[in-house]
Amino acid sequence: MAAAHGAPGMRAAAAAVWALAATAAAAQGSRPVYEGAGNDPRVSVAQPESTSQSSGGYMRSIAPALGPIGDPLGLRPTLKARGIEYGLSYFLDILGNPRGGVRRGAIVEDRLNLRLNLDLERLAGWEGATAHANAYFIHGTGLSRYYVGNLLTTSVIEALPSSRLYVLWLDQQLFDNTLGVRIGQQGADTEFFVSQTATLFVNSTFGWPAITGLDLPSGGPAYPLATPAIRAKYVPGNGFSLQVGLYDGDPAGANRPGNTVDPQRLDPAGTAFRLRDPALLIAEATYAYNTRPGSAGLPGDITIGGWRHAGRFASLRTDITGLPLADPNAAGFGRRLRGNAGIYAIYDQTLYQEPGKDDEGLGFFVRAAYSPSRSSLIDAYLDAGLAYRGLIPGRDADTVGVSVAYARIGGDARGADDDTIRFTGRPMPRRRAESVIEVTYQAVVAPGFTVQPDVQLVLHPGGGIADPRDPNAGRVKNALVLGIRAAVHY
């Protein structure tokens, strides 16, 4: 994409960032303790022990349980005192679909995360500055890609095998820690559109929802592709927070006319560092309540957000001459449409807290999003779920949950199916929506080591597409997905 396409969006978003900084300059306050997913105060009593989602959250290390072999040289305390912290996380998924999908099968996939945090104040006397890097080593075969054929990917760690840099950024805290400005390679899924209760679940849509993952170029700035960005977050200390992020709008350069290459193959190492694509602006405001010790009510938060992409997108229905893409006389290239935008809302609430416990009880979440852009494959999205930490006596750190997600196919995509039927004269399914229901149980074997059986029911894979192996057989059958995840954090 030409840089000129993104210039107005970049200038407007940059102005918003500087306006936010100016607003914060007069504010004073104290920074709350951040241990919840999304770098926010913890509001969900049911946030799990372990999560593979990029938004993370507090995760205990297995090192103390290993005794002397957990840190044989005793380096970690010494390095931490000097401002250097590192961590490793390993996730292993075994998943299969004994029923439904494009074809039945089973896969093994795993991911190793390497994390490095530098406290630059301790290291170099740079007050309020930190640096962070995260790299992934991904192996295995994706169940959704090769077997189920669904849009709401069955595992959040599913990706093409690669060794890649994910994020690399510098964060500066300003104005008594009420304003944080972060610059460098970033993923929007680490801080935006995050539900803390939803971090329990295995399906990827409960992390970075399908409406952004399928509507934005290259899947948006989210696992496994991040992009150069600047993010500002203002936290005045009264329960309110406001954050805005300005991202290069195409992490891998996939949003080009005629491109058919998988975005992950366009940037296999995560080092493309693209800067000349039209901009993506994401902003959200959150109000968190009852988060301080001794609060009379149960904690929760409400978030309102939205995104705007300044680039051009290929029409899903009409070609560059105005003919339906299904017309035999069509040029074969979608008409270019300007921009993509959407809004979303999140409600995360602790419904019940075990007496005398601050990390056991029942949590609830619901997220809704709408994208009216004609280029959107998904125009409406909704997910919700319940999770309970410490439900079984004697298993206080275990978490059980049930969730559901719904993604509706956009109007132009549905219309394209109608056009195909009209021009070919062949009966075929019309895509409408895809849903998933997930039930999961995360068992803590030891602090930092979890095992998580998981069951998913995928309804109308692909939104209700025809079976590619036998179009006359009708839609791809609903899929039952069974699996287990093991996770170790060090």
Question: 478: which 2 tokens?
Answer: 């609903």
Cis peptide before 77 (omega within 30 of 0): no
* CA dist., res. 435 & res. 464, Å (int): 10
pLDDT score at 295 = 85
Site of tokens 């992409």: 309
Residue 459 in this model has a pLDDT that exceeds 90: yes
Give residues with Cβ within 8 angstroms of 487, minimum separation 6: 50, 52, 89, 90, 91, 92, 449, 450, 452
Give the model's confidence band at 80: pLDDT under 50 very low, under 70 low, under 90 confident, else very high.
Answer: very high
- Whether the per-residue pLDDT at 59 is higher than 60: the answer is yes
Distance CA 274, CA 283 (A): 21
Average pLDDT over residues 168-184: 97
Give residue-wise pLDDT tens across range 95-141. Answer: 999 999 999 999 999 999 999 999 999 999 999 999 999 999 999 99
Query: How confident is the model over 470-488, as a mean pLDDT?
Result: 92
Query: Structure pTM?
Result: 0.90
**Mean pLDDT for all residues in the chain:** 90
Mean pLDDT of all residues in 274-298: 93
pLDDT given at position 288: 95
Tell me phi and psi for residue 294, to 5 degrees: 90, 0
**pLDDT (tens digit per residue) in 358-370:** 889 999 999 999 9
* pLDDT tens for each residue of 194-226: 999 999 999 999 999 999 999 999 999 999 999
Q: Which of 281, 336, 278 is nearest to 305 (CA)?
A: 281
Percentage of the chain surpassing pLDDT 70? 93
23 has a pLDDT exceeding 70 = no
pLDDT band for position 69 (cuts 50, 70, 90):
confident
The β-bridge partners of 107 are 95
Task: Name beta bridge partners: 136.
Answer: 113, 164
pLDDT at 73 > cutoff 90: no
Instruction: Kindly tell me the burial class for residue 169, based on how many C-beta atoms sit within 10 Å of its own C-beta (0-12, 13-18, 19 or more).
Output: buried
C-alpha span between 419 and 299 (Å, rounded): 50
Beta bridge partners of 110: 92, 139
| Mean pLDDT within 160-169 | 97
Given this model, what pLDDT does residue 34 score? 53
Whether pLDDT at 13 is above 80 = no
For the cut 90, the answer to whether the pLDDT of residue 397 exceeds it is: yes
* Mean pLDDT, rounded, for 138-166: 97
Q: What is the mean pLDDT of residues 2-24?
A: 38
Using one digit for the tens of pLDDT, what is the confidence trace for 244-282? Answer: 999 999 999 998 877 889 999 999 999 999 999 999 999
CB of 116 closer than 8 Å to CB of 132: yes
Cβ neighbors of 287 (< 8 A, separation 6 or more) are 239, 240, 301, 302, 303
- The CA distance from 457 to 428, in Å, is 23
Does pLDDT of 26 surpass 70?
Answer: no
Note the pLDDT of residue 27: 34
Measured distance CA(445)–CA(451) in Å, rounded: 7
Q: pLDDT-based confidence at 287, cuts 50/70/90?
A: very high
Mean pLDDT of 152-173: 97
Residues 6+ apart with CB under 8 A from 124: none
Quickly list H helices, 207-255. 210-215
Domains, the chain, with CATH or none: 3-64+76-489 (2.40.160.180)
Q: Closest Cα to residue 152, out of 405, 432, 477, 401?
A: 405
Alpha carbons 161 and 178: distance in angstroms, whole number: 40
**Per-residue pLDDT at 85 exceeds 60:** yes
For the four alpha carbons of 93, 160, 227 and 413, in that order, the dihedral sign comes to negative
For residues 283 and 229, give the distance between their C-alpha atoms in angstroms, rounded to a whole number: 13
Percent of the chain at pLDDT above 90? 78
Q: Residue 6: its pLDDT value, please?
A: 40
